[in-house]
Amino acid sequence: MSNHHTIRLNGPWEMITALPDEPQRVKLPKGWPEIISAAKQGPVLLQRWFHRPTGIDDGSQVELVLIGLPFSGSVSVNDQSLGSFAPFQTHARSVGAHLTERCCLTLSVERLGELEDSIPIPQISLAILPAS
């Protein structure tokens, strides 16, 4: 993915757990320890709202890029499933067809990966690739 524009989706995110509490706001990358701790206790859902990126023309491709997430799970944009992902890998999913003026990105944490003493800082971003 060379020659592209990256928009990092650092936050704020809402973390929804099985507890009856209100969703907790987390800002990435600082909030990763909170997410990992919550995932050890049970199911976690992460949601982040964002606006459709400007400057996208008909030939542009927009991909959601997940890098090094410490868990497996599934991902959706505006309730449209983009499939599942494995822990500690890089995944890119085309999202251009699912973008609206205001978008909701949802990550469902299914299982934590095997955690080392320190993990690399995961990234969640949009990559905008120009028309070819």
Residue range 14-62, pLDDT digits in tens: 999 977 778 999 998 888 889 988 998 888 999 999 999 887 877 789 9
Q: Whole-angstrom Cα distance, residue 54 to residue 62?
A: 11
Q: Tell me how many domains the chain contains.
A: 1
CA 123 to chain centre: 8
Judge whether residue 99 has pLDDT over 50.
Answer: yes
Q: Is 9 strand, coil or helix?
A: coil
pLDDT band at residue 95, thresholds of 50, 70 and 90?
Answer: very high
Judge whether residue 119 has pLDDT over 70.
Answer: no
Structure-model confidence comparison of residues 121 and 104, the more confident one: 104
Range of the domain at 106: 5-129
Q: Whole-angstrom Cα distance, residue 121 to residue 8?
A: 13
Per DSSP, the chain holds a count of helices (H) and strands (E) of: 1, 10
- The pTM of this model reads 0.89
The CATH number for 118's domain is 2.60.120.260
Q: Whole-angstrom Cα distance, residue 53 to residue 7?
A: 9
Residue-level pLDDT at 1: 46
**Residue 116 CB partners (closer than 8 Å, separation 6+):** none
Q: Which of 47-51, 67-71, 96-100, 120-124 has the lowest mean pLDDT?
A: 120-124
